[in-house]
Amino acid sequence: MRTIDWAGDAIEMIDQTSLPDRLEVLRITTVAGLVEAIRRLAVRGAPALGVAGALGVALAARTGESIDALRAARPTAVNLAWGVDQAAARLPDAEAALKRALEIRDADIAACVAMGVRGADLVETFAERPVRVMTICNTGGLAAVERGTALGVVQTLHERGRLAEALALETRPLLQGARLTTWELARMGARHRLVADSAGPFLLARGHADVVLTGADRIAANGDTANKIGTYALALGARRAGVPFVVVAPESTIDAGTSSGDKIEIEDRGAGEVVTIRGVQVAPEGTRALNPAFDVTPRDLITAIVTEDRVWRPR
C-alpha cells in the first residue's frame, strides 16, 4: 500500500510510530490533525512530507484552516514547505489545489523509480560483484509514497540480483533504521543486518561496505546536504576509508534559495527523545540533552547526488 494518499475527502497514511509492531492506517481530516501527525513523525521522510504538505493544502481548502502551521511543522526538510507552496499557489480553487497535490504524489512515485534505476546503475560501476551497502535512517517506501530514494536504489539492486547485503544503521534517537528500514528490507527479502550507529565508520574502515547510500532533507545550492543526524560521521568515515558516499534525493529536495549548508535550519527535537528509548527512561531523571535531528555533510565529502534527472558531483 502507499505510505500516504488521498482518500476522497481525507488523507490516509501509515502510522510510522506503530511500526514494526503494528501496521496501522491513520485517516486525517483536519490540518491540525496533519500537523500533529507530522510533528510526532507518524508521517516522515522528506518526499512523504512534500506530499503531506500538498495534500494538507487540499484539506485546508475544505476545512478553512490556516496552512501556516503546516508549512512550519518541521523546518529542515525543504519538501514540506515546497509541497505546501506548490498546492497553495492554486488556491482559492480547491479542486485545482487537490489536482496539484495529486500530481506531486504521482511525480514522487515516478521519481523514485527513476532514482532507483539511476542510482543502481551508478553503484554497479563501483564493484563487479554484488555490492554491500550501508545506509542510515529510513529512505524507503515509508519515506516517500511507494518506493523511496536511497533504499529504492537498494531495492533496485536487490531486484537485479546485485545486492550482497544492506547494513542499516539503527538511527538513534528515534530508531528509524532499526524500526522501519529493517522492516522494509525484510519485506523485500533483501539480506540485511542492523548496526549500532557508532559502529558505522569503523565498519567502513574494516571494509564491510562498498558504498554508503543516504537520503537528504535539504540540499543547498552548492551541494552541501542536510540529512538525519549521524550522516556526517558516516561521510567522514567513508572518505577516510575510500568508500563512495552517494546521496539519493528528488530534485524537489534541492533548495536553490539556500546557498550553503551552514544556512540550513536544523530541527531541535528536545531532550525527551534522547533521555528515553521508545518511552523508557534511560538516563537519570533531570538529565539535560541536545537533540539535533539532522546534520550537514559538506559537498566535498559527497561522491555524487543522484536525482530523478541526473547524477550531480558537487565537489
Binding site residues, ligand MRU, CB under 6 A: 41, 44-47, 77, 137, 139, 143-144, 148-149, 176, 215-217, 227-228, 293
In angstroms, give the least distance from the CB of 132 to ligand MRU.
Answer: 20
Q: Cβ of residue 61: shortest distance to ligand MRU, in angstroms?
A: 25
Closest residue by beta carbon to ligand MRU: 215
Closest-CA residue to 159 (of 210, 183, 207, 124): 124
Residue 291 corresponds to which cell in the numbers above?
537533540
Beta bridge partners of 304: 246
Interhelix angle 94-124/46-63, nearest 10 degrees: 170
Rounded to a whole number of angstroms, the minimum distance from the CB of residue 171 to ligand MRU is 8
Give the burial class of 93: count Cβ atoms within 10 A of its Cβ; 0-12 exposed, 13-18 middle, 19 or more buried. exposed
Q: To 10 degrees, what angle do helices 94-124 and 78-88 make? A: 140
By C-beta, is 61 or 201 nearer to ligand MRU? Answer: 201
96 vs 114, beta carbon nearer ligand MRU: 114
Q: Taking the complex as a whole, how short is the minimal distance between the CB of residue 294 and ligand MRU, in angstroms?
A: 6
Closer to ligand MRU by CB, 204 or 247: give it.
247
- Report the phi/psi class of residue 148: left, alpha or beta, with left for phi > 0 and alpha for psi in -120 to 50: left
What would the grid cell of residue 190 be? 533483501
What b/e string do you get for 190-229 counting C-beta neighbours within 10 Å, with b at 16 or more? Answer: bebebbebeebbebbeeebbbbbbbbbbbbbeebbbbbbb
Shortest spacing between CB 34 and ligand MRU, in angstroms: 15
**Residue 238 to residues 12, 205, 212, 249: CA-CA distances in angstroms?**
38, 8, 7, 19
CA distance 176 to 45: 10
Backbone angles phi, psi at 262, to 5 degrees: -70, -10
The nearest distance, CB 46 to ligand MRU, in angstroms, is: 4
Q: Which residues pair with residue 26 across a beta bridge? A: 13
Is residue 217 annotated as part of the catalytic site, yes or no? yes
Q: Which of 217, 224, 255, 295 is catalytic?
A: 217
Which grid coordinates belong to 107?
511525480
Query: Which H or E element spans position 305?
Result: strand 304-306
Catalogue the active-site residues: 217
